[in-house]
Chain A
Amino acid sequence: AQSVSQHNHHVILSEAASLELGCNYSYGGTVNLFWYVQYPGQHLQLLLKYFSGDPLVKGIKGFEAEFIKSKFSFNLRKPSVQWSDTAEYFCAVKTPTDKLIFGTGTRLQVFP
């Protein structure tokens, strides 16, 4: 069965620090991968996605993620975080039946 692991459950950073959130998935076939973000009190929003092509994908608000097939990873990065990036971040893989399998989420707190 497909699964997604996010090993960082809670990350605390100061503004301007660099961010990398880990995501590993288990599935041997073609994968569609996503990062969603949930800001406090708001609904899930798409941050970025990978379907095919360039394994380095850029999303909104300066976020990017790199698909490394050999490592089954899709880590999220941002060179310099802001207080407004405080949120919960979810990695997800889409199954062949189109449902999303989510990781457990990473709560990011950024302090000024």
Chain B
Amino acid sequence: GAGVSQSPSNKVTEKGKDVELRCDPISGHTALYWYRQSLGQGLEFLIYFQGNSAPDKSGLPSDRFSAERTGGSVSTLTIQRTQQEDSAVYLCASSPPGKTQYFGPGTRLLVL
């Protein structure tokens, strides 16, 4: 079946603008995760959803970052007032509860 999909694949924005990144998990996967991959920080966890609730938001770097998940499926990661240090590849993964996570292709964000 289809894997995890993310959109857009690339996003260029100006400093101070808001961006929304979308993740479509594998059908039936109740758990959804957001990670960030950047040169200086490697792969970092951001937030975890089980269904529509987020039991672990500990990785969100600041209150400019938020995420939601609706219908136990699609998730949106929103970054408000983007800064240059937000430039990174944002990865989404999904899994059945407690099982192996499967990753999407990522959204490459560049903040000018």
Contacts and interface: CB of A to CB of B under 8 A. Distances in A.
Range class of the A interface residue count: 10 to 19
A97 B55 contact: yes
Nearest to B98: A98
B43 A43 contact: no
Interface stretch (B18-26, B64-72, B101-109): B101-109
B48 A34 contact: no
Interface string A82-98: 00000000101000011
Contacts of A90: 43
A44 B91 contact: yes
B37 to A, nearest CB: 9
Contact of B105 (A34, A43, A46, A103): A43
B95 to A, nearest CB: 8
B14 interface: no
Contacts, number: 47
Interface in A71-112: 90, 92, 97-105
Contacts of B43: 90, 92, 100, 102, 105
A38 to B, nearest CB: 9
Contacts of A36: 103
Given A100-B43, A103-B42, 6 more contacts: A42-B105, A43-B104, A43-B106, A98-B48, A98-B95, A99-B59
The list of the 5 closest CB pairs from A to B, nearest first, reads A102-B43, A44-B103, A43-B105, A99-B45, A104-B42
